[in-house]
Structure 1
Amino acid sequence: MTSGTISAQITDYANRADPYPLYAELRKTPVRREDDGTYLVSTYHEVRSLANDPRLSNDTRNRPPGLARTAEAEETGLPPSFIFTDPPLHDRLRNTINRPFGPPHSPRFLDDLRGELAEVVTELLDSFEGKDQVDIVDDFAYPLPVTAICKVLGVPREDEPRFHGWADALASSLDPQAGEEGRKKGQQARQDLGAYLSDLIETKRRHPGPGILSALAPDMTPEDLEATAVLLLVAGHETTVNAITNTTLTLLRRPDVLDRFRKDPDLAVPLIEEVLRYEPPVQFVPWTTALADIDVADTTIPKGSPVWLMLAAANRDPQRFRDPDRFVPDREDNEHLGFYTGIHYCFGAPLARIELYLAVPELFRRVKMSRLLEDPPPYRANAVLRGPRHLPVAIEGLTD
């Protein structure tokens, strides 16, 4: 096994626009030990196996002493949300939260949001009227998911703007290279959001209304419910922003695929799934820890070792996907890891897919985008939740 600091290159902002050559290099050693004792796992079957292995812990309290944790582990007075727990606690929390969110208990909850979200998409696109350029992130991809998650939670519409800053600070703090300042900003955002949610949850207890906070208030402690809402904001917002923006960027770079997509709207589902493979919004999972010695790919990961599961590298593994570095809009057998796998499979994936299937076809149906104004665009600082910070494009009109 080789050692080195390829993780530092992956998290280096200089490589944010195109980390894929680094992932290709990484796959040459499917399980690689870094100098600090972290193990990077980069091939598809090995990532999938470990993501489903109960000997790999998501609980950041199991991280080795002195190793940076996520913003979830900061001393904010709240427990970690369910994504940063292991069974049986994880299963109890996730099953409780799922009851008002989706099937089998609430089969129509998400479907009933489609009409409201479609109206939001229309309003955002209407605002492009009279402009010759727009920023796909600030003007479209960023506002839609925060509105969606606020509707899911039951947040009043007038409070939605406050969630933008909180979501950005929280997402940035998850970057392994966030530094002390980034972690402090994330901690402050989590505290401010927690205080807001504490008041909102108490209001929902006394006066139940729409949204899952009202439904969950009788079954969860205020602290667990606050932690869950914080998680849903980050997971339900930042990842969807990146998915919409990465899809737009990918299509604008490929006029032939875009032309085919405009002529065949039914291509939307396989095309978006291919983007989730090709440019996944979550690049890797950097917070897992081995609870026992784990043998994988002729390597033993020792008990107590931090492990990074490199989803984006696995999604381009030629042992799993034919011609993986080529974007194939109607790719078959596309069981990608864009939403992870196992018990920690993305809780918000059904909502994210609804937003993507509503937003992307309508964006390209109504807006004639002539060219990218900056390529590569500036990217967010976060290496984990990777996506453009801005995506300026020139437009030539808007259809009804």
Structure 2
Amino acid sequence: MTTTEMPDTLHRILDYSSRSDPYPLYAELRRTPVARQEDGSYVISTYRELADILHNPHLSSDVRNLSHPMPSREGETTPAFINLDPPEHDRLRRMAMRHFGPPHTPGLVTGMEPALSAAVDGLIDDFAGKERIDIVDDLAYPFPVTVICRLLGVPREDEPRFSLWVNDIINSIDYDARTDPKEKLDKGVQARADLREYLGGLLAVRHGHPGDDLLSRLANDDGPDGRMTDEEIISTANLLLIAGHETTVNLITNGMLTLLRYPQVLQRLREDPDLAVPLVEELLRYEPPVHIIPWRAAYSEITVGDTVIPQGSQIMLMLASGSRDPDRFHDPDRFDPDRTDNQHLGFGSGIHLCFGGPLARREAQIALTELARRLDHPSLVADPPPYRRSPVLRGPIHLQVEQNGG
């Protein structure tokens, strides 16, 4: 395996003109599984090498281990646990998991299923009489936002405020000082500060007032690891608020787009709701909500395949490319919900495996099943639809669908 610079392919992947279909470019990238870039960073694009490094203890998620500063992380005072390494990562993730899922809260997701179904039904009820709907605006966005607000204890009516901050934060994730205006970074830094201040205000009134929402539980519960500091709670809530809906919006929207491109599978789902479980797993491989982890750091020198990555190097992980790797998946460019060997990278892998994966899966299963069952002869208005700017969190910004044979 020879390390080769492939800047043109990567630049084309990151360019918005490739957003609707980056997969042929991923195939180009995979010709060099570990590619050194002009700036000294490394891009990893093949399944075996990605799986290897995601489980490598010398891979760091802490920006402080980079040789060069990461501008997109400016203004991040207390990193969320996703941006920390063990043992701090393990302690904070363990403290959050006590209130979010198994083993301490095993019934959280299943206990929410009636509310999830009711939320989806209510949104689809509003489709009545409409010949044209926007899957994003009318369901894929409001549904997971409602869910994560309820879980965290964030007032749903505050969505117009925090959605602007979230958009600016997401837009700044892939900031490149060589090509992007400084305003993009500045807006992201300010949005992080505004969101922290907002969540801090919600947290302040939770102390001494236990409740069922996650903010209340984190503010008042002393588990085996003690209690998080306020800054740690705010960082955790920040992570969950953003990741808890942004990725699910993409998963549902990409899923509906794929089903409309594969009408025979849409019909199968309509007739057999149990298909939703393997179907969502295949969507996480075929059209995942997260395409790229834009940076990790080499905590010390790392060897990936035959390539030695120096300590402090920035590493970009092309997860969506790995999940389409023909050396790992048979006929990877075919959407196949009957695929049995499907250890995709849709939620990452290793110690940072997506914290909210079980909830996101169930939200997508319910939403797509009900859309398949209740939409009347749906068809795409435009294919490809318009996409969001981000190459990291990739999905349509709108998905216009006609029904009733319109």
Q: TM-score, normalised by structure 2?
A: 0.93
1:98-247 correspondence to structure 2 within 5 Å: 98-177=97-176, 179-218=181-220, 219-247=227-255
1:249 paired with 2:257, answer yes
Is 160-169 or 218-227 further displaced after alignment?
Answer: 160-169
d(CA) in 2 for partners of 1:163, 1:366: 31
Of 314, 320, 323, 2:322 maps to 314
RMSD of equivalent CA atoms: 1.6
Equivalent residues of 2:66, 2:298 under 8 A apart:
no
Counterpart of 1:373? 381
> Secondary structure at the residue paired with 1:205?
coil
- Contact preservation (8 Å) 1:146, 1:163: no
Whether 1:383 and 2:399 are equivalent positions in the alignment is: no
- By how many angstroms is 1:205 displaced? 1.1
Are 2:62 and 1:59 aligned? yes
Matches for 1:4-43 after TM superposition, within 5 Å: 4-5=6-7, 6-43=9-46
Structure 2 counterpart of 1:331, which letter?
A: R
Quick check: 1:171–1:238 contact (8 Å CA) kept in 2? Answer: no
Alignment partners' CA distance in 2, 1:369 and 1:208: 48
Which residue identity is paired with 1:211?
A: D
Where in structure 2 are the equivalents of 1:280-319 lying within 5 Å? 280-319=288-327
Cα separation, 2, equivalents of 1:34 and 1:69: 18
Distance of 1:362 and 1:205 partners within structure 2: 39
Over residues 66-108 of structure 1, what are the superposed CA-to-partner deviations in whole Å (9 max), with x where a residue is unaligned?
4x343xx2225x3010000001110111001100111111112
Q: Does the residue aligned with 1:307 lie in a helix, a strand or coil?
A: strand
Aligned-pair CA distance for 1:257: 1.8
Q: 1: distance between equivalents of 2:379 and 2:109? A: 34
**Does the residue aligned with 2:294 lie in a helix, a strand or coil?**
strand
Q: Which runs of 5+ in 2 are unaligned?
A: 221-226
SS at match of 1:130: coil
Tell me how far apart the structure 1 counterparts of residues 247 and 80 of structure 2 sit (CA, whole Å).
17
| Of 356, 359, 363, the match for 1:355 | 363
Deviation at 1:373, TM superposition (A): 0.8
Map of 2:224 onto structure 1: none
What's the secondary structure of 1:368's corresponding residue? coil
Distance 2:117 2:172 in 1: 31
Q: Which stretch has the larger CA shift, 267-276 or 294-303? A: 294-303
Contact 2:71/2:185, CA 8 A, preserved across alignment = no
Q: What displacement does 1:170 show?
A: 2.0
Q: CA deviation at 1:179?
A: 4.4
Query: SS state of the match for residue 182, structure 1?
Result: helix
Question: What is the deviation of 1:188?
Answer: 2.1
Residue type at the aligned position of 1:390: H
How many Å apart are 1:369 and its aligned residue?
A: 4.4
1:49 matched to 2:57: no
- SS of 1:40's equivalent in the other structure is strand
Q: Which letter maps to 1:327?
A: F
Q: For residue 110 of structure 1, give the secondary structure of its aligned residue in structure 2.
A: helix
CA distance in 2, matches of 1:306, 1:171: 20
Distance in structure 1 (CA, Å) of the matches to 2:377 and 2:235: 40
1:169 Cα shift? Answer: 2.2
Following superposition, the deviation at residue 213 of structure 1 comes to 0.8
Deviation at 1:206, TM superposition (A): 3.3
Matched residues in 2 for 1:366 and 1:108: separation? 28
SS in structure 2 at match of 1:295 = strand
Greater displacement, 94-103 / 209-218: 209-218
Maintained 8 Å contact 1:63/1:69: no
Contact 1:11 1:176 in 2 (8 A): no
Could you say what secondary structure the match of 1:217 adopts? helix
Whether the 8 Å CA contact 1:69–1:287 is kept in 2: the answer is: no
Match of 2:223 in 1: none
**d(CA) in 2 for partners of 1:162 and 1:208?**
26
Q: Answer whether contact 1:30 1:43 (CA < 8 A) is retained.
A: yes
Aligned residues: 394
AA aligned opposite 1:244: I
Separation of aligned partners in 1, 2:267 and 2:103? 39
% same residue: 55
State yes or no: 1:74 paired with 2:85: no
Summarize deviations over 1:239-274 as a string: whole Å, max 9, x none.
Answer: 100000000000101112222222222111111110
